[in-house]
Amino acid sequence: RPNELPGPFKWPIVGNLPQIAQVNWSRVWHAVDHYAKIYGEIYGMYFGPRYVVVLSDPKVVHELMKRDEWNGRPHDHMAKIKGDGAVLGIIMTDGDLWKETRRFSLRHLRDFGYGRSNMETSVMDEVQNVVDRLDKQIGNEEQVLSFESTFGPAVLSTLWNMVASIRTELDDPDILRLQRIVKETLQRRAFGAGIFWSFQSLRHLFPQGSGFAQQIEGFNILKENMRKVITEHKKTRVPGEPRDFIDAYLEEHENNPENPYFFVNRYSSVAPIVTPHALTETVTYKGYEIPKGALVFINTWGIHRNKDHWGDPDTFRPERFLDKNGKVVTNDEWLLPFGSGKRRCPGEPLAKTSVFLMVSNLLQKFSFSTVPGEPRPSPIPVIGLNLAPLTYRAESRKRKI
Ligand code: HEM
């Protein structure tokens, strides 16, 4: 195409998959960042037939993410399957439906405490549960503990209480099972992960090998669970007196029957998710023409590890976020874990409150260290739509106060 963005040489059919494989096939974001260093702040590459625009400069990201046309989503088959044939929810929709759903969800979640000061109290209750559990597990001695699914259910519980008025116990087997299914299902549809993401129609030929069959099974279990909770709400709700988000939604739906809100996606949104954007129309940017439908990756991995900006990105040095007067710098434009602009993560208040209260309270009471004689916890993440740590073990002891 004339005026095409710079990018690696495109092979017939497979596009840039050989170049991606050459850098790192299983950690695609390394390859994405590798070519950003060669082709600059905005470049294009082909995952098989899928054209992807990669943004690697925070200024460009902040600028473009304010614009509607850069904030679409790819209309993948999976989004439709989740919504029984229609693309629904917040994460995978775009246009008016997305705007309305996002506005509706945030407005009504706020009615039930989301982002308000009492949310902190609720998160603190959950943090206390984790502290109590560790306290019991550690006893009077130090213990080597395995950390997996330790924090997820605590964060989920706060959200679930606002959505469905259900408080979940930390070791509730149903919640742990659902959390595992969400994790496994998301891991199977990790973007950029493998040939099946690039050539989506191969799923019909290899339903098992592509993970397609397992994803459908996972989503069906989640939907089944949501349906049960919704049916229960329908039976017990009092019109005009919504107890939680589901009641508010049902009320809206009753008053506007043709209104297509739905929130099957809600469950999977509990995980931090970086989903590719898609261009809703053909755009010209700095003289380059970028076609409608092109996917957009925000190279946050590369931005967060940019040596020119951070100096020593791999060193744990939290004081880098303090200014000369010891105050926390909150507006570093190079730090965008929650994305930027119109689709910026709406879970940020809950995520930040949970991480702060969880980490500070645990470290106040306990100390954690590596286990002598065992390898350090692996820095290699498990890839879902987000990157999560593998299960790890840590020597855990109570602090002497
Ligand atoms: C540390 C935790 C979290 C991180 C780092 C994170 C990060 C992100 C990022 C990068 C996006 C993509 C933004 C984009 O498409 O441009 C996103 C979207 C989203 N996140 Fe989070 N998130 C976290 C926790 C949460 C939580 C706890 C919730 C639920 C309350 C949540 C709900 C969502 C939703 C619904 C979207 C889709 C927004 C949209 O498409 O309009 N996130 N998140």
295 lines ligand 1 (CB under 6 A): no
In a domain, 231, yes or no: yes
Distance, in Å, from the CA atom of 371 to the CA atom of 308, rounded to the nearest integer, reads 34
In a domain, 34, yes or no: yes
pLDDT at 388: 67
Distance, in Å, from the CA atom of 197 to the CA atom of 15, rounded to the nearest integer, reads 13
Closest by Cα among 309, 301, 297 to 61: 297
269 lines ligand 1 (CB under 6 A): yes
193 lines ligand 1 (CB under 6 A): no
271 lines ligand 1 (CB under 6 A): no
pLDDT at 274: 52
Q: How far is the CA of 343 from the centre of ligand 1 (A)?
A: 8
Clarify whether residues 346 and 261 are in a common domain: yes
Q: How far is the CA of 26 from the centre of ligand 1 (A)?
A: 23
Q: The tokens of 279 are what?
A: 């261009």
Q: How far is the CA of 330 from the centre of ligand 1 (A)?
A: 18
Clarify whether residues 107 and 154 are in a common domain: yes
pLDDT at 38: 97
Q: How far is the CA of 142 from the centre of ligand 1 (A)?
A: 36
Clarify whether residues 191 and 205 are in a common domain: yes
Clarify whether residues 239 and 324 are in a common domain: no
User: Total domain count for the chain?
Assistant: 2
The SS3 assignment for 277 reads: strand
In a domain, 84, yes or no: no
Whether the CB-CB separation of 189 and 215 falls below 8 Å is answered with yes
Q: The tokens of 391 are what?
A: 């299960």
CA distances, 373 to each of 107, 138, 370, 393, 395 (Å): 51, 20, 9, 12, 11
Nearest-atom index, ligand 1, CA of 352 = 1
Other CB atoms within 10 Å distance of the CB of residue 209: 12
Q: How far is the CA of 16 from the centre of ligand 1 (A)?
A: 29
Clarify whether residues 331 and 346 are in a common domain: no
Regions of the chain short of the pLDDT cut 50: 191-192, 259-273
105 lines ligand 1 (CB under 6 A): no
Clarify whether residues 242 and 321 are in a common domain: no
pLDDT at 234: 93
Clarify whether residues 102 and 241 are in a common domain: yes
Clarify whether residues 62 and 199 are in a common domain: no
Interface pTM (ipTM) of the complex? 0.96
Clarify whether residues 114 and 233 are in a common domain: yes
Clarify whether residues 205 and 165 are in a common domain: yes
The 8-class DSSP code of residue 376 comes to: P
Distance, in Å, from the CA atom of 59 to the CA atom of 313, rounded to the nearest integer, reads 19
pLDDT at 4: 93
Q: The tokens of 148 are what?
A: 């997996």
Whether the CB-CB separation of 372 and 122 falls below 8 Å is answered with no
Clarify whether residues 110 and 205 are in a common domain: yes
Query: For a pocket test of ligand 1, which of 110, 273, 299 has the largest count of ligand atoms closer than 8 A to its C-beta?
Result: 273
Q: How far is the CA of 2 from the centre of ligand 1 (A)?
A: 36
CA distances, 328 to each of 213, 323, 334 (Å): 47, 6, 15
Closest by Cα among 94, 5, 9, 78 to 44: 5
Clarify whether residues 177 and 289 are in a common domain: no
Q: How far is the CA of 320 from the centre of ligand 1 (A)?
A: 25
Q: What would the pLDDT profile of 276-332 be if each residue is shown by its tens digit?
A: 899 999 999 999 999 999 999 999 888 888 999 988 888 888 888 888 888 887 778
Distance, in Å, from the CA atom of 236 to the CA atom of 266, rounded to the nearest integer, reads 22
Q: CA end-to-end span of the chain, whole Å?
A: 67
The SS3 assignment for 146 reads: strand
Provide Rg for the chain, Cα atoms: 22
Range of the domain at 5: 1-74+276-337
Residue ID of nearest Cα to ligand 1 atom 1: 351
Q: The tokens of 343 are what?
A: 């689709």
pLDDT at 261: 35
Whether the CB-CB separation of 111 and 248 falls below 8 Å is answered with yes
In a domain, 129, yes or no: yes
Whether the CB-CB separation of 69 and 278 falls below 8 Å is answered with no
Nearest-atom index, ligand 1, CA of 155 = 27
